[in-house]
């Protein structure tokens, strides 16, 4: 059979593309690289000839083989692609969180090792188990595995992690559910390496001994070290080779003490003497320090340097600058801020400071200091000067430019520019020392007042010595520009009420302005609803919610006025007045009515005829004679009182409206002759009737008060208030109780209810109530409807069954309204428990016996004796123990009149309750067990300790509990005092003493020798502090000033000490031992008359009201003050004698009305009222003294109800 032509040509067809491709590659190769000859090896030629011969002889076999190879290649590629894309089983992966270093605390809480899974991997039955099997750590560490969630597994160690240790986490195949396939069952992690950081490296100077200087540093360790090993790796080296340690002090010239858990080391060098030249000390910590937690070592050398100044460079002036700071009254002051490199008293530094105002610098002086002595330079300078003269006469613009350039040139730039003859002509400038926050500080402030441009020459004379006896080696000279006071305009006084019958003028203070532009926006009284509803903030300075959409331009008519100012210079403050008289006239074209104004005062540039927008002040003013006081009642209604601001008398016949959001009155009323009217509740008004303001009209006069706005509410935070909040709408209170509170299943629970109206009025007979009993499963098991008797007392009961669930039962009482359950009046709880007799008894004792006073925490143990019911020892029983610690104070019934001071209390640290689990133990053959209480770590404080032990039966979970209490403190003794009277209110020059005693832990009186008694006066002073933004502001800080110090001895029988009462003020009496540790401290206040002093709480808010005759003016020069307890030196503004009758519960409303009238009639300004209200706070402490003077009650609400809740447009 003849072979078909196609099959014979098939090999050529298959090979032809490759041949063609080879020719193309060959030609490309020839073009690029040229001809390359290659002679194939013999085996290649023979193989090729054999293949060609075989193909020609067997074309069918050859073609079949080639096709098979091609198909096999395609099949292999497809199979591999299918294999790569076949569905795979979902496998869960896990990630290991890095184990952090254990946070350093009193009680270490070891961080867990957390394993997070991408999908839920926990067995349901394992989620609640405290310890799991099937997972382990290699190497092992004590602890337990538990599931935090179905995706998070945690290992909680019972000991700290070693440093730089690698761990393998190995899971058993059976640990996970069958449907969970893990990517792998072994994971690795590593703990944090051991490292040491140097912090707080400094040259320390002992405050009590300035000549003692030491280099101190704190070493923060990530893991504990063995004492002694760290010392061997530390070196103190002087970089410049200076000898700062005494020759008698051998190396290593330092000592180390350890802090918490040996993870904090405190380095303190030997005493350091200052070298002749400034040098640096290097603290070098070499690598190789070994930790006791696993034996890891540090891998890097750590070093840090501290500067050791020489005696000549230890104290230097680092900088000086001029600045502007505003005092408490908002007045800008010129201050010089001087910084030093060492601590020094500002007062001592001020004695060495001199300040001069330099004269204006002349061009010749500038040329002589900067040019050479050559004639060419002088000629050039003269040519330049004449050129400048010609240039200045060319035009006004060039003249101004030249003057500005000349001013810049004529400034004194540095102290070296100022020759001695110029300094002799300088004018001395007086300055005032501003107290610093600390007695010795590095920032010092001096107040100056210079009302001209120029430069100040400051010199600090050499020889002044800083703290530590460091002298200033050379005079320090500097030139500082005179601090320029800012241009400003301010509307004087505070508040937003201007008396209609007064002068109608506002005092304006300005500085550096030749004219002021006033923008007066008169608000129509028909727009009060929009004014209130679209603004927020203070009454005198409201802010619009969306000023771009709605502002004062929408509700007012705006007028502009310009007022020239007689500007003497730009340094002095100018006082002018803005007269409202013309603005109060009714416009001829109708327009806006008088009474409500937005006033904006801003700077005005007459030359450019443009306002200076950056300099402005604004105020909202209500010009009226109507004073409004409102009181909200418990029923939601309101009482309104109107008084005349001018006369203080009530306004009768005036119309009062509650204005809705749409401007339509919701309610309207007229005041009676006593100026009082009432309104029912408007709390249910909604939408357009939502109340926004009270509006009062009396003829053409009008006033308003925003409805229930926060800034109108009188602040009672300075007064002591107590009691239940009166917020119930029905005004009823219920007291629900059971006869014993604990019952067994099957007992009958007897319940009593007492219901009363809060004002003790009203007839409650027949009032329907509903009671319900809710069991421990939160199911209602009984519901009853009852009616009250006339007494308001009702009784009911609930019968429990033997199978009733045990737990907490709740009994609720509700008011019934419209046959529906209403307000919850009261509730109580009762406990239902199974009572089983104990089959064991437990006894607990402390190793140091039952103390009368307190016990020391060192080596404290607790012993437990567990016995069966018949007295035989309960052996091999499980016993658990724990210690509960709560912060406590020293107080003993034997000395109930004495107050004891705890020297261990640190006011900067917060003490909290703690519970220490002591684990569990087994009783021995005698039924005894002993626990180490581990109280040494709490030796730095005083705690009330309760040790609780629980002993369990051999089978089952029943147990008995025993406990013992003790006061724990490491103090060997405490000192207490008993005052002869109230220490918060001692009349000046009146004898007042205290009895001092010292007691030991057994409450035996003991003698204490060598005690230093100090009396310290506490005063508030204004200091200048730098804020984060660089501005300087005055702040009031408490400054302590020692007034007396003496040595005393407290005998075993006690000591009577008379307190110094010659000068009014706040004082602290301290007792310290020979190591300067505080043994006792007490505060006392002496009140009376003395020279005026600065007050932290000075009331500087003066009203815009015109003062009445006889009232104390806000500008009065009060040279005496009465020192009162409870607040700091506030000058009295009015008499504190009460003008209101005593209130009774039955006449709260009438008392409120009469009291409101008398208060507003009595005081001419809110400042006077403020001082009177504050004086009420004193009466509580004064009441305890024997006096014939009648004093007002301590709480205004007790006397006046809540009628003073809101006051006339002023917030006290």
* pLDDT classification of 1200: cutoffs 50, 70, 90: very low
Chain position carrying tokens 């441009």: 453
Chain position carrying tokens 């292999």: 76
Do 428 and 324 lie in a common domain?
Answer: yes
Rounded Cα distance, 251 and 262, in Å: 23
Beta bridge partner(s), residue 994: 979, 1057
Cα distances from 1066 to residues 535, 684, 842, 964, 977, in angstroms, run 44, 52, 54, 42, 18
* pLDDT classification of 137: cutoffs 50, 70, 90: very high
Residue 1098 lies in a domain: no
Closest CA to 303 of 288, 282, 287: 282
Strands 986-987 and 732-738: unpaired
583 DSSP 8-state letter: G
Question: Per-residue DSSP letters for 277-303?
Answer: S-EEEEEEE-S-PBBTTT--B--S-EE
- Tell me: the pLDDT tens digits for 414-423? 888 888 888 8
Do 299 and 395 lie in a common domain?
Answer: no
Rounded Cα distance, 309 and 1022, in Å: 33
- Out of 82-86, 984-988, 1171-1175, which region has the weakest mean confidence (pLDDT)? 1171-1175
Give 223: exposed, middle or buried? Use CB within 10 Å, 0-12, 13-18, 19+: buried
Closest CA to 683 of 675, 691, 695: 691
Give 71: exposed, middle or buried? Use CB within 10 Å, 0-12, 13-18, 19+: exposed
Residues 595-604 as b/e (b if ≥16 CB within 10 A, e otherwise) read bbbbbbbbbb
Residue 457 lies in a domain: yes
Q: In the predicted model, is pLDDT for residue 407 greater than 60?
A: no
Predicted local confidence at residue 1030, as pLDDT: 63
Q: Is the peptide bond before 830 cis (omega within 30 degrees of 0)?
A: no
430 is written with which tokens? 């007086």
Residue 155 lies in a domain: yes
φ, ψ for residue 949, nearest 5 deg = -120, 140
Q: In the predicted model, is pLDDT for residue 1019 greater than 60?
A: yes
Closest CA to 691 of 729, 736, 655, 656: 656
Rounded Cα distance, 16 and 10, in Å: 10
Predicted local confidence at residue 127, as pLDDT: 87
Predicted local confidence at residue 394, as pLDDT: 40
Do 280 and 204 lie in a common domain?
Answer: yes
Range of the domain at 1165: 1132-1200
Closest CA to 217 of 278, 283, 157: 283
Closest CA to 1155 of 1171, 1133, 1167, 1172: 1172
| Boundary (domain end) residue, out of 943, 968, 993 | 968
| Boundary (domain end) residue, out of 624, 643, 667 | 624
Q: In the predicted model, is pLDDT for residue 593 greater than 60?
A: no
Do 613 and 473 lie in a common domain?
Answer: no
Q: In the predicted model, is pLDDT for residue 605 greater than 80?
A: yes
181 is written with which tokens? 């396939």
| Boundary (domain end) residue, out of 282, 308, 334 | 308
Rounded Cα distance, 705 and 632, in Å: 13
- Tell me: the pLDDT tens digits for 640-687? 999 998 888 899 999 999 999 888 899 999 999 999 999 988 888 888
Do 860 and 921 lie in a common domain?
Answer: yes
* pLDDT classification of 65: cutoffs 50, 70, 90: confident
Q: In the predicted model, is pLDDT for residue 1195 greater than 90?
A: no
Rounded Cα distance, 967 and 893, in Å: 14
Closest CA to 937 of 901, 885, 902: 885
754 is written with which tokens? 């007492």
Do 510 and 477 lie in a common domain?
Answer: no
Provide the number of structural domains found in the chain. Answer: 10
Do 174 and 303 lie in a common domain?
Answer: no
Q: Which residue has the higher pLDDT, 1190 or 980?
A: 980
Q: For position 112, which CATH number holds?
A: 2.60.40
Given a contact cutoff of 8 angstroms between Cβ atoms, the answer to whether 705 and 630 are in contact is yes
Q: In the predicted model, is pLDDT for residue 11 greater than 80?
A: no
Residue 254 lies in a domain: yes
pLDDT above 70 covers a percentage of the chain that reads 80
- Altogether, the residues listed in the chain come to a count of 1212
For residues 1064-1083, average pLDDT: 89
Predicted local confidence at residue 35, as pLDDT: 72
- Out of 382-396, 702-716, 941-955, 1073-1087, which region has the weakest mean confidence (pLDDT)? 382-396
Predicted local confidence at residue 1122, as pLDDT: 36
* pLDDT classification of 477: cutoffs 50, 70, 90: very high
Given a contact cutoff of 8 angstroms between Cβ atoms, the answer to whether 611 and 602 are in contact is yes
Strands 986-987 and 1078-1087: parallel
Closest CA to 591 of 562, 638, 618, 558: 558
Given a contact cutoff of 8 angstroms between Cβ atoms, the answer to whether 240 and 280 are in contact is yes
Residue 118 lies in a domain: yes
Residue 1096 lies in a domain: no
Q: Which residue has the higher pLDDT, 1197 or 256?
A: 256
Do 250 and 295 lie in a common domain?
Answer: yes
Rounded Cα distance, 659 and 313, in Å: 74
Closest CA to 134 of 183, 173, 188: 173
Q: Where are the beta strands (DSSP E) in 969-1074?
A: 974-979, 986-987, 993-999, 1005-1006, 1008-1026, 1032-1050, 1055-1058, 1065-1072
Predicted local confidence at residue 1170, as pLDDT: 39
Do 455 and 356 lie in a common domain?
Answer: yes
What angle (nearest 5°) sits at the alpha carbon of residue 455, between those of residues 355 and 458?
25
Predicted local confidence at residue 367, as pLDDT: 45
Rounded Cα distance, 594 and 500, in Å: 11
Do 857 and 751 lie in a common domain?
Answer: no
Residue 266 lies in a domain: yes
Closest CA to 398 of 407, 408, 388: 388
- Mean pLDDT value across the chain: 79
- Tell me: the pLDDT tens digits for 1136-1167? 333 333 333 333 333 333 344 444 333 333 33
Do 817 and 863 lie in a common domain?
Answer: no
- Tell me: the pLDDT tens digits for 750-803? 999 998 877 666 778 888 999 999 998 889 999 999 888 888 889 999 999 988
- Out of 343-347, 407-411, 556-560, 1134-1138, which region has the weakest mean confidence (pLDDT)? 1134-1138
Q: For position 1044, which CATH number holds?
A: 2.60.40.1930
Given a contact cutoff of 8 angstroms between Cβ atoms, the answer to whether 1019 and 1039 are in contact is yes
Q: For position 460, which CATH number holds?
A: 2.60.40.2180
Sign of the Cα pseudo-torsion (342, 343, 347, 348, in order): negative
Which residues have C-beta within 8 Å of that of residue 925, sequence separation ≥ 6?
873, 875
Given a contact cutoff of 8 angstroms between Cβ atoms, the answer to whether 498 and 621 are in contact is yes
Q: Which residue has the higher pLDDT, 142 or 954?
A: 142
Q: Which residue has the higher pLDDT, 1091 or 1132?
A: 1091
Do 477 and 518 lie in a common domain?
Answer: no
558 is written with which tokens? 């705006």
For residues 194-220, average pLDDT: 88
Residue 501 lies in a domain: yes
Cα distances from 964 to residues 856, 967, 1191, in angstroms, run 15, 11, 50
Closest CA to 496 of 618, 394, 584, 402: 618
């Amino acid at each position: 059979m003849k072979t078909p032509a196609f099959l014979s040509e098939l090999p050529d067809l298959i090979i032809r593309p490759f041949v063609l491709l080879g020719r193309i590659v060959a030609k490309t190769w020839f073009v690029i690289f040229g001809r390359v000859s290659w002679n194939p090896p013999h085996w290649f030629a023979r193989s090729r000839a054999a293949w060609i011969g075989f193909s020609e002889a067997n074309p069918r076999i050859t073609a079949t083989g080639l096709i098979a190879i091609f198909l096999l290649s395609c099949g292999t590629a497809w199979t591999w692609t299918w294999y790569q894309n076949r569905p795979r089983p979902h496998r869960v992966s896990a990630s290991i969180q890095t184990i952090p270093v254990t946070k350093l605390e009193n009680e270490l809480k070891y961080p867990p090792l957390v394993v997070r899974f991408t999908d839920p991997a926990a067995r349901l039955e394992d989620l609640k188990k405290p310890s799991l099997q099937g997972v382990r750590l290699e190497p092992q560490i004590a602890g337990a595995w538990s599931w935090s969630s179905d995706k998070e597994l945690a290992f909680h160690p019972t000991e700290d992690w070693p440093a730089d240790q690698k761990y393998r986490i190995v899971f058993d195949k059976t640990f996970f559910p069958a449907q969970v396939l893990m990517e792998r069952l072994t994971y690795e992690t590593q703990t944090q390496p051991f490292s040491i950081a140097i912090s707080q490296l400094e040259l320390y100077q002992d405050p009590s001994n300035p000549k003692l200087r030491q280099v101190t540093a704190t070493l923060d360790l990530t893991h504990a070290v063995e004492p002694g090993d760290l010392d061997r790796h530390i070196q103190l080296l002087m970089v410049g080779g200076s000898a700062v340690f005494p020759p008698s002090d051998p190396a290593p010239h330092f000592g180390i003490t350890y802090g918490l858990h040996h993870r904090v080391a405190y380095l303190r060098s030997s005493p350091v003497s200052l070298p002749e030249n400034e040098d640096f000390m290097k603290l070098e910590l070499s690598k190789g320090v070994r930790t006791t937690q696993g034996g890891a070592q540090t891998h890097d050398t750590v070093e840090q340097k501290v500067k050791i100044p020489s005696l000549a460079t230890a104290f230097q002036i680092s900088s000086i600058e001029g600045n502007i700071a505003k005092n408490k009254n908002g007045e800008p002051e010129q201050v010089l801020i001087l910084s030093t490199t060492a601590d020094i008293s500002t007062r001592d530094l001020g004695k060495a400071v001199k300040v001069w105002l330099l004269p204006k610098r002349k061009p010749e002086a500038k040329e002589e200091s900067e040019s050479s002595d050559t004639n060419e330079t002088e000629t050039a300078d003269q040519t330049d000067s004449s050129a400048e003269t010609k240039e200045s006469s060319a035009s006004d613009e060039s003249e101004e430019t030249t003057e500005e350039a000349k001013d810049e040139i004529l400034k004194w730039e540095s102290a070296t520019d100022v020759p001695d003859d110029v300094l002799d002509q300088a004018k001395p400038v007086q300055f005032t020392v501003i107290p610093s926050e600390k007695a010795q500080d590095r920032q010092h402030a001096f107040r100056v007042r210079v009302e001209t441009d120029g430069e100040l020459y400051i010199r600090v004379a050499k020889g002044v010595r800083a703290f530590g006896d460091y002298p200033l080696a050379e005079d320090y000279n500097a030139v500082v520009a005179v601090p320029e006071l800012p241009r400003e305009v301010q509307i004087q006084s505070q508040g937003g009420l201007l008396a209609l019958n007064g002068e109608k003028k506002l005092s304006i203070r300005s500085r550096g302005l030749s004219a002021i532009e006033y923008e007066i926006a008169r608000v129509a009284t028909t727009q009060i609803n929009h004014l209130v509803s679209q603004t927020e903030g203070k009454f005198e300075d409201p802010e619009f919610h969306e000023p771009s959409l709605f502002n004062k331009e929408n509700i007012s008519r705006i007028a502009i006025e310009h007022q020239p100012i007689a500007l003497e210079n730009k340094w002095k403050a100018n006082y002018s007045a803005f007269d409202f008289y013309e603005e109060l006239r009714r416009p001829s074209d109708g327009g806006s009515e008088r009474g409500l104004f937005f006033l904006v005062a801003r700077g005005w540039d007459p030359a450019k005829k443009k306002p200076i927008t950056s300099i402005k002040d604004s105020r909202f003013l209500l010009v009226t004679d109507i004073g409004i006081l409102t009181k909200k009642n418990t029923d939601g209604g309101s009482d309104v009182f109107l008084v005349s601001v001018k006369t203080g008398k009530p306004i009768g016949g005036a119309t009062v409206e509650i204005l809705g959001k749409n401007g339509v009155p919701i309610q309207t009323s007229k005041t009676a002759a006593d100026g009082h009217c009432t309104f029912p509740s408007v709390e249910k008004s909604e939408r357009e009737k939502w109340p926004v303001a009270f509006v009062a009209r009396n003829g053409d006069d009008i006033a308003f008060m925003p409805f229930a706005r926060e800034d109108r509410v009188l602040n009672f935070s300075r007064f002591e208030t107590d009691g239940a909040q009166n917020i119930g709408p029905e005004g009823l209170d219920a007291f629900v109780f059971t006869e014993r509170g604990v019952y067994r299943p099957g007992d009958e629970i007897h319940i009593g209810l007492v219901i009363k109206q809060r004002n003790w009025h009203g007839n409650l007979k027949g009032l329907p109530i509903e009671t319900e009993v809710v069991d421990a499963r939160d199911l209602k098991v009984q519901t009853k409807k009852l009616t009250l008797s006339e007494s308001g007392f009702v009784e009911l009961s609930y019968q429990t069954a033997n199978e009733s669930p045990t737990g907490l039962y709740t009994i609720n009482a509700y008011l019934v309204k419209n046959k529906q359950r209403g307000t919850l009046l009261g509730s109580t709880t009762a406990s239902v428990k199974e009572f089983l007799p104990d089959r064991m008894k437990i006894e607990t004792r402390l190793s140091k016996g039952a103390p009368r006073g307190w016990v020391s925490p060192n080596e404290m143990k607790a012993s437990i004796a567990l016995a069966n019911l018949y007295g035989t020892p309960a052996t091999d029983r499980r016993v658990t123990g724990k210690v509960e610690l709560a912060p406590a104070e020293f107080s003993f019934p034997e000395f109930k009149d004495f107050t004891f001071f705890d020297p261990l209390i640190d006011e900067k640290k917060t003490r909290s309750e703690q519970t220490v689990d002591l684990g569990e133990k087994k009783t021995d053959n005698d039924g005894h067990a002993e626990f180490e209480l581990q109280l040494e770590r709490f030796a730095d404080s005083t705690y009330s300790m309760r040790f609780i032990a629980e002993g369990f039966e051999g089978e089952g979970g029943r147990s008995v509990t025993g406990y013992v209490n003790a006061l724990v403190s490491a103090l060997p003794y405490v000192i207490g005092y008993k005052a002869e009277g109230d220490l918060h209110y001692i009349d000046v020059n009146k004898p007042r003493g205290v009895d001092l005693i010292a007691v030991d832990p057994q409450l035996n009186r003991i003698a204490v020798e060598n005690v230093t008694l100090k009396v310290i006066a506490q005063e508030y002073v204004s200091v200048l502090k730098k804020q984060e933004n660089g501005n300087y502001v005055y702040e009031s800080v408490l400054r302590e000033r020692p007034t007396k110090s003496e040595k005393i001895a407290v005998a075993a029988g006690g000591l009577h000490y008379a307190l110094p009462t010659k000068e009014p003020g706040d004082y602290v009496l301290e007792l310290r031992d020979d190591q300067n540790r505080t043994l006792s401290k007490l505060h006392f206040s002496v009140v009376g008359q003395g020279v005026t002093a600065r007050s932290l709480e000075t009331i500087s808010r003066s009203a815009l009201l015109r003062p009445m005759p006889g009232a104390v003016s806000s500008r009065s020069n009060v040279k005496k003050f009465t020192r009162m307890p409870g607040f700091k030196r506030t000058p009295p503004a009015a008499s504190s004698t009460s003008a209101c009758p005593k209130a009774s519960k039955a006449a709260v409303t009438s008392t409120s009305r009469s009291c409101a009238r008398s208060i507003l009639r009595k005081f001419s300004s809110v400042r006077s009222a403020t001082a009177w209200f504050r004086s009420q706070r004193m009466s509580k402490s004064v009441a305890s003294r024997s006096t014939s003077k009648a004093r007002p009650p301590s709480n205004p609400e007790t006397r006046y109800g809540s009628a003073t809740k809101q006051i006339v447009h002023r917030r006290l």
